[in-house]
Amino acid sequence: MDDQVPLVNYYTKSYSKLFESLSLSHSKEDTMNLFVGGEFQKFGYLEERILRSIGLESNWNIVDVGCGSGRLALRLKGFLEGQYLGTDLVDDVLDYANSIVNRPNFSFHRVEDCTIPSTENFADAIVFFSVFTHLYDEDCFRYLKESKRVSKNNALIVLSFFDFEEPNHWWVFDQALKNPDPNKVPSTFLSKSALRKWCEVLHLEIESIYAGSEAWIPIEKDIGFDDQSNPTGNAEFGQSVAVIRTSS
Ligand SMILES: C[S@@+](CC[C@H](N)C(=O)[O-])C[C@H]1O[C@@H](n2cnc3c(N)ncnc32)[C@H](O)[C@@H]1O
């Protein structure tokens, strides 16, 4: 793509620094868990349930952008027969994800710009869990454009985001305000109007937007979260989630 800018100057630098500082004071397993935000098993389960709720089938090809250390991949490995492509900026987390999944139809690739290393007409679903929460607007747009390029007709894009309309997301902004580190991992917010505009420009169709605090994910078992919440029936994701169709 001609409008790509190498990310090495900001995202890669900040994530590599985060990885290094976590690994200095934590075991490998804890580092891999904390790097993606913690509660590895529980959020992996919720991410899988989100995909099930949008119709995931075993023969789907999935692109998991910013797959991290494999929270979602681990949940899919016993089910998915189609191809899984996970991308990330950090070799160590990709290697870890590959080692815990270890399936021939799962592959993990490092990226250096907002591209998806895939041919056109590949994906049934492209997911960005906790990724647009750390990307600047231009890069969110670039990734949406890429998603459209690699998707099959009628594919789905799922992305989670922070939203100023959600009172529960304010702490994220507050924490960013108080963090003077110029190399911090950015925390970014998305407005629904920005998302609508990007989808209009790219001819994508927003199917649903779920507020972070909405209990909309059908779950089949109790999940006891670290904050003591224990949803049953339906669970919230915490971050808001948009489900977008690439064409109809
Ligand atoms: C909060 S973690 C979430 C990981 C995973 N999606 C999950 O839910 O477990 C964000 C991940 O996105 C990756 N990431 C950030 N910016 C990226 C980019 N521009 N392209 C690809 N991956 C990116 C980070 O390295 C990190 O692994």
pLDDT in tens, 21-44: 999 999 999 999 999 999 999 999
In angstroms, what is the span from residue 91 Cα to ligand 1's centroid? 12
**What is the C-alpha end-to-end distance of the chain, expressed in Å?**
25
Residue 194 pLDDT > 70: yes
Mean pLDDT of the 188-193 span: 97
Given this model, what pLDDT does residue 225 score?
A: 66
Given this model, what pLDDT does residue 247 score?
A: 81
pLDDT band at 45 (very low <50, low <70, confident <90, very high): very high
Given this model, what pLDDT does residue 188 score?
A: 96
Given this model, what pLDDT does residue 213 score?
A: 94
Mean pLDDT of the 2-14 span: 73
Mean pLDDT of the 201-229 span: 88
Pocket mutation for ligand 1, best pick of 19, 47, 85, 88 (most atoms within 8 Å of C-beta): 88
For residue 171, the SS3 value is helix
Q: List residues near ligand 1 (CB under 6 A).
A: 7, 11, 15, 36-37, 47, 65-68, 71, 87-90, 93, 111, 114, 129-131, 134-135, 139
Residue 154 pLDDT > 60: yes
Indicate the domain borders of the chain: 11-101+114-186+194-245
Give the closest residue (by CA) to ligand 1 atom 5: 67
pTM of the full structure: 0.95
In angstroms, what is the span from residue 67 Cα to ligand 1's centroid? 6
Alpha helices in the chain (DSSP H): 11-25, 28-35, 40-53, 71-76, 91-101, 137-150, 170-178, 192-202
Q: What is the CATH number of domain 11-101+114-186+194-245?
A: 3.40.50.150
Residue 1 pLDDT > 70: no
Q: At what angle do helices 11-25 and 28-35 cross, to 10 degrees?
A: 140
Which atom of ligand 1 is found nearest the CA of 35?
Answer: 2
**Cβ pair 152, 125 in contact under 8 A:** no
**Percentage of the residues of the chain whose pLDDT score is greater than 90:** 86
Which atom of ligand 1 is found nearest the CA of 128?
Answer: 6
Residue 237 pLDDT > 60: yes
Across 75-84, 146-155, 160-169, 216-225, least confident range: 216-225
Give the closest residue (by CA) to ligand 1 atom 24: 66
